[in-house]
Structure 1
Amino acid sequence: VLSSKMCVASCSRCVGVSLVPMAFVCMLANGLLLLPDLKAHYLLDGHVTREARWGTGLWASGFLMLCQVGCSCVALAAAAFCCLVSATGLVQGPLCLHNSTQGLAWEMPLKLQKNPIYLFDRTLWPAACEEPRNIVQWNVVLFSVLMATSGLQAVLCAAHTINAILGIIFGPRFCKNKICKHY
């Protein structure tokens, strides 16, 4: 018997199978953002951006995606939130030790430009920060991965939620091009 339940179930299965690996990608990316240059002392000394410390890739697009069964709406909001926070972290640039007018200071030097132009001008990257090494590339790559993956998760969660709602509302007629046997 092909019915809306089968259509909803197959869509749910596809969405679920694709959300799980993306959750692991987000957790790994956020974990790496917390460890610039793979060293914990930056995190322990408070030299990691607040967007990375919020850990949205760990809990929002990570753990909650793994628990998405029955929580599609929460997962949608969490993925959208992770995408927004990642975009903010990307635009504001990394927290790093840089040479300011008062000497070396832990700040966000690329945020001061008030324009995310640094994302497109890689010549600014090497001189922006003294420490951690290559932190601009680190943040750009990992926040981009988080933003793209959590954005895709938001779309898939929205599709999953809409599919479930349509399956409930329209019942067997939801699968228009399927052959449905009625008993």
Structure 2
Amino acid sequence: MCVASCSRCVGVSLVPMAFVCMLANGLLLLPDLQARYLLDGHVTREARWGTGLWASGFLVRQQCCVCVLGCSCVALAAAAFCCLVSATGLVQGPLCLHNSTHGLAWEMPLKPQKSGDPIYLFDRTLWPSACEEPRNVVQWNVVLFSVLMATSGLQAILCAAHAINAILGIIFGPRFCKNKTYLQTQCLFA
């Protein structure tokens, strides 16, 4: 069955991406590779939610078209949620110790205060002086949240294509792959 072949293609593609997301989210929890920031609550909520750990791990490996469609939709929703949370974490910037008007404080100094404020991502001159501790936390967050966002976005695209393939399998049945106009790859979109 064509849908099963596509399930294997998508499943095999999602496995390395899931590991990349889990690694990136795990590293986000350990700024400067130190657990004390996590234990003291000095990690952004987007990193603590762990969407890269749990949302990127949904794999689609069912044989029945209806089961594949359901699993694909769940995986699509999880990957899209991970992408959204990662984008939010990227835009808001890291939680760090910085010099505020009241002295040193744990805050998000690069977070836009109101709509229309410039985003720190486009002004790299702000990065080195923004945070006292953890060391290089701005670059740490930018790189890891970017990896999470890109990888989970790609996962969402694959899962959406897989859901479309499952819908076509339900509509056209087992003869879907025997159609002469069907691409010879046996995986419609992946």
Distance across 1 between alignment mates of 2:3 and 2:98: 53
- Which residue matches 2:72? 72
Runs of 5+ in structure 1 lacking a partner?
Answer: 1-5
RMSD (Å) for aligned C-alpha atoms:
4.3
Structure 2: gaps spanning 5 or more residues = 61-65, 181-186
Contact 1:68 1:75 in 2 (8 A): no
Residues 25 and 52 of structure 2 are in contact (CA less than 8 Å); yes or no, is this contact kept in structure 1?
yes
Distance in 1 (alpha carbons) for counterparts of 2:34 and 2:58: 24
In the alignment, the residues of structure 1 paired with residue 85 and residue 41 of structure 2 have an alpha-carbon distance, to the nearest angstrom, of: 18
Could you tell me the TM-score, scaled by structure 2's length? 0.84
Maintained 8 Å contact 1:92/1:116: no
| Contact 1:72-1:157 at 8 Å conserved across structures | yes
* Counterpart-to-counterpart distance in 1, 2:15 and 2:85: 21
Q: Deviation per CA, 1:23-75, whole angstroms, max 9, x where unpaired?
A: 00000000000000000000000000000000000011136679999622111
Does the 8 Å CA contact 2:90/2:141 hold for their aligned counterparts? yes
User: Secondary structure at the residue paired with 2:178?
Assistant: coil
Using a 3 Å threshold, how does the CA distance of structure 1 residues 172 and 116 change in structure 2: closer, same or farther?
Answer: farther
Deviations 1:129-166 (A, max 9, x none): 00000000000000000000001111111111110111
Does the residue aligned with 2:58 lie in a helix, a strand or coil? helix
Q: Normalising by structure 1, what TM-score? A: 0.87
- Distance in 2, matches of 1:22 and 1:107, equals 31
Paired-residue identity, %:
91
Partner SS for 1:112: coil
Write the distance in 1 (CA, Å) between the matches of 2:167 and 2:96: 46
Q: CA 1:67–1:39 in 2, change beyond 3 Å: closer, same or farther?
A: farther
In the superposition, relative to structure 1, how do residues 39 and 80 fare at CA in structure 2: closer, same or farther (>3 Å)?
same
Contact 2:69/2:166 (8 A) holds in 1: no
Matched, 1:141 2:148: no
CA offset digits 1:158-178 (Å, max 9, x no partner): 111110111111124533754
Q: Residues 10, 83 of structure 1: CA spacing in aligned structure 2 closer, same or farther, 3 A cutoff?
A: same
Q: 1:116 to 1:137 in 2, by over 3 A?
A: farther
Cα distance change on mapping 1:40 and 1:129 into 2, 3 Å:
same
Give the corresponding residue for 2:188: 181
> 1:176 and 1:67, CA in 2 relative to 1: closer, same or farther beyond 3 A?
closer
SS at structure 2 position matched to 1:48: coil
1:132 aligned to 2:134?
yes
1:104 counterpart SS class: strand
